[in-house]
Structure 1
Amino acid sequence: MKRITRISALTAGLVLTALPALAEGVKVGVMMTLSGSAAVLGEQGRDGFLLALEEMGGKLGGLESEVIVVDDELKPDVAVNRARELVESHKVDVVVGAMYSNVQMAITGPLTEAGVFVLSPNPGPSALAGAGCNPNFFAVSYQNDQPDEVVGAYVSGKAARTFLIAPNYQAGKDHLTGFKRTYTGEVADELYVPLDQMDYSAELAQIAAAAPDAVYAFMPGGLGVNFVRQYRQAGLETIPFYSTFTVDEVTLPAQKKDAVGFHSGGDWAPDLDTERNRAFVAAFEAKYDRVPASYAAHAYDAAYLLDSAIRAVGGNLADKDALRAALKAADFDSVRGEFSFGANHFPLQDFYVTRVAERADGKFQTQIVEKVLEKPVDAYAAECPMK
């Protein structure tokens, strides 16, 4: 299977091609997970970025663009090798990626040490938000803990005892930490499962035995599809189900009615009422015939952020300090409305609780229930030495 695809803005409609490298312009590596059960997340991110690029006529900040799409295969060692190839062979200026925190942690050091800017469309590891913050790293999404802090605050007072479950990797630990930071009730139990686990019969039996007032899960992608289906099949739907990235626009096409009524937390939903978001969702659905997920929304924003920064420096990519300052200024129209970066290059934005609903056209999406947190600063920002 081809793992690297070059896309040239010089071809009509951003057709996949193998043209020689552009003589002038900006080179962007888009590193996503595009194989295995997690590919659906990466496809959303890739398609969101390419949609924005198409809307801009294939240019970023007025410069012709070349995009090299890379599959990290959800393997940190593979991702590091492909990151080196993006730097050494393709000489990229920016990398938009990755999709998972373990890959993000693996690639950010090698890329930024080479002078490449990294824009994350999804993971926001705690290690990159605090003492390990990086001048060339920008999270265009959130800090991993934050969506969970939303749910923790929302569930407090609604459930005295909550059962927690997540996959055993950096993001899983970050997400449960975020929930516990704002949750005022008792943790009935806390389980971590392998990242590739698909059968949860043993864990569901533990949940039933614990008889909690609620369940909180971070189970992204294929993990969430199986977990939600099996949760219903086990007859546990009487226990309120809360999550992040377990019931979203990536998993809902497979979960369908099994997920209806389940809650989640995040910084965005397809029905978020901003003019830019309405236009983005309509354009994405028209082009790809599916409902966009946050992965697509963040990558779409990343493209417009990059466009604004390159435009602000007059296309002078060699002036790294000026480009960094322009990225931090975040002078673009986000689908999320008001958007800015804190000192650690993580966003200051609003967060919401959402609920899964079936639309009139038979498709499923998350819809905003209420805004819970207004532009919170993440819990690690004070440890970042950048000012």
Structure 2
Amino acid sequence: MVTIGRRALLGTTLGTGAALAMPAVRAGAQGGGGSPGVKIGLVAVLTGPQAALGTQLRDGFLQGLKHLDGKLGGLPAEVVVIDDELRPEVAVTKVRAAIERDKVDVVAGVVFSNILAAIIRPVTESGTFLISTNAGPSTLAGRGCNPNFFTTSYNNDQVHSVMGQAAQDSGYRRVFVMTPNYQAGRDAAAGFKSRFKGEVVDEVYVPLTQLDFSAELAKIAAAKPDALFTFMPGGLGVNLVRQYRQAGLANIPFLSTFTVDEATLPAQGEAALGFYSAASWAPNMENAANLKFVRDFEAAYGYVPATYAAQSYDSAMLLDSAIRKVGGRLADKDAFRAALRAADFRSVRGPFKFGANHYPVQDFWLCQVAKRADGKYQTETVRKVLENDTDPYAAECRMR
């Protein structure tokens, strides 16, 4: 059974996920005493302009539970949805409550790296496992790696390096770089530059709340670069894409990560058509797990899933495989950790395994925005850029 725990929501809008609600299942016998079951604290931003990303994350995890008949590893599952509000102090307060009061067995989710940076110590120092389904900061991939932390997404700058390689392969010599001014934004610029060997004509960092890019677009027009590289998630990406097209700059190739994707395309529409992104997954991937996921997700929620949903879906499948492997004995931390490392599940991405730092080793693709026959927009794979790629910080990780 799947229950959306209301006590930790503090005002969160459940939306379509509420259709899964069933009678509550309290903390499992192995996870905190009580009736057999497993309880997951799912952290997502569900208020404000970035809520579309958190909604994708939440719905992807819940779709995974639908496919698992409401169970993880054979145990009835309860999900406590935690709206972090994109405020680190709020996230810490709510996550502490989920651990100490609601007795969650695992914390999963997290869209933004600043939220992950705030909650990782309270979660892991309590002995609770943290599975990030999106945020993957470089600070936790190398020397800061943690035995109780896994991510089903990527190292932040790893994905951006894919676009750096794609720009290099395309022969671009002069690129304008623009990202938000926070850890993931700095990782994005560093990742792109790690593989792009040409000239960065300007490197601009904007506030995470910025919605008017007129000044920056004027700089791009004046610089006349061969291409723009940008990482602008959620509402930032919606506004940037619209304004970029309106400013008549579409003749300058738009290379991006997490800027044009299925979470933002419904609002960007034609303005994003033909723009590029880099990713480890796209809706048009033709493997059995992905075909089932995309078909059933769209039927359940009425929109096209993005990587936020796909990676979250994979985390549900990862947890199912690990809990099943330890026979539901979540109190055996070492065995559960080893079961998570084994990653014995079928990913929507195809090949998937964890590196020594608990970050995935996976393929990465150049993708492009396309319009489907049904009028909806999605990203589609153009070509594989990196194969079986390990993030650059893994060698620095020394698990304690």
TM-score range (shorter-chain normalised) is over 0.9
Query: TM-score scaled by structure 2?
Result: 0.93
1:3 Cα deviation from its structure 2 partner: 2.7
State the match for 1:141 in structure 2.
Answer: 153
Q: Could you tell me how far apart the structure 1 residues matched to 2:36 and 2:140 are?
A: 32
Q: Could you tell me how far apart the structure 2 residues matched to 1:292 and 1:219 are?
A: 18
State the match for 1:14 in structure 2.
Answer: 20
- Kindly provide the CA deviation profile for residues 253-279 of structure 1, in whole angstroms up to 9, marking residues without a partner as x: 010010010001010000012111011
Q: 1:191 aligns with which of 198, 201, 204?
A: 204
Kindly indicate whether residue 167 of structure 2 is the aligned counterpart of residue 167 of structure 1. Answer: no
**Cα distance 1:97–1:283, how it changes in 2: closer, same or farther (>3 A)?**
same
**Cα distance 1:280–1:230, how it changes in 2: closer, same or farther (>3 A)?**
same
Kindly indicate whether residue 66 of structure 2 is the aligned counterpart of residue 54 of structure 1. Answer: yes
1:116 Cα deviation from its structure 2 partner: 0.7
Kindly indicate whether residue 30 of structure 2 is the aligned counterpart of residue 24 of structure 1. Answer: no
CA contact (8 A) 1:6 1:69 kept: no
CA contact (8 A) 1:6 1:66 kept: no
- Kindly provide the CA deviation profile for residues 145-194 of structure 1, in whole angstroms up to 9, marking residues without a partner as x: 11111110011142110000000000000011100000011001000000
Q: Could you tell me how far apart the structure 1 residues matched to 2:198 and 2:285 are?
A: 30
State the match for 1:235 in structure 2.
Answer: 248
Cα RMSD between the aligned structures? 1.7
Q: 2:132 aligns with which of 120, 123, 126?
A: 120
State the match for 1:109 in structure 2.
Answer: 121
Amino acid at match of 2:342: A
SS of the aligned residue for 1:354 comes to strand
1:24 Cα deviation from its structure 2 partner: 2.1
Q: Could you tell me how far apart the structure 2 residues matched to 1:328 and 1:308 are?
A: 10
State the match for 2:325 in structure 1.
Answer: 312
**Cα distance 1:4–1:301, how it changes in 2: closer, same or farther (>3 A)?**
farther
Q: 1:334 aligns with which of 347, 369, 394?
A: 347
CA contact (8 A) 1:6 1:68 kept: no
Alignment of 1:156-305 (within 5 A): 156=168, 157-305=170-318
Amino acid at match of 1:3: L
Q: What stretches of structure 1 of length at least 5 have no aligned partner? A: none
Greater alpha carbon shift after TM alignment, 142-151 vs 339-348: 142-151
- Kindly provide the CA deviation profile for residues 296-354 of structure 1, in whole angstroms up to 9, marking residues without a partner as x: 00000000100000000011011000000000000001101110000000000000000
Q: Could you tell me how far apart the structure 2 residues matched to 1:314 and 1:229 are?
A: 51
CA contact (8 A) 2:25 2:77 kept: no
Q: What stretches of structure 2 of length at least 5 have no aligned partner? A: 1-5, 28-33
SS of the aligned residue for 2:388 comes to coil
Percent identity reads 59
Q: Could you tell me how far apart the structure 1 residues matched to 2:22 and 2:160 are?
A: 38
Count, aligned residues: 383
State the match for 1:3 in structure 2.
Answer: 10
Amino acid at match of 1:171: A
Kindly indicate whether residue 68 of structure 2 is the aligned counterpart of residue 68 of structure 1. Answer: no
1:19 Cα deviation from its structure 2 partner: 6.9
1:39 Cα deviation from its structure 2 partner: 0.5
Q: Could you tell me how far apart the structure 2 residues matched to 1:128 and 1:20 are?
A: 32
Q: Could you tell me how far apart the structure 1 residues matched to 2:352 and 2:58 are?
A: 22
Q: 1:88 aligns with which of 91, 100, 110?
A: 100
Q: Could you tell me how far apart the structure 1 residues matched to 2:232 and 2:344 are?
A: 33
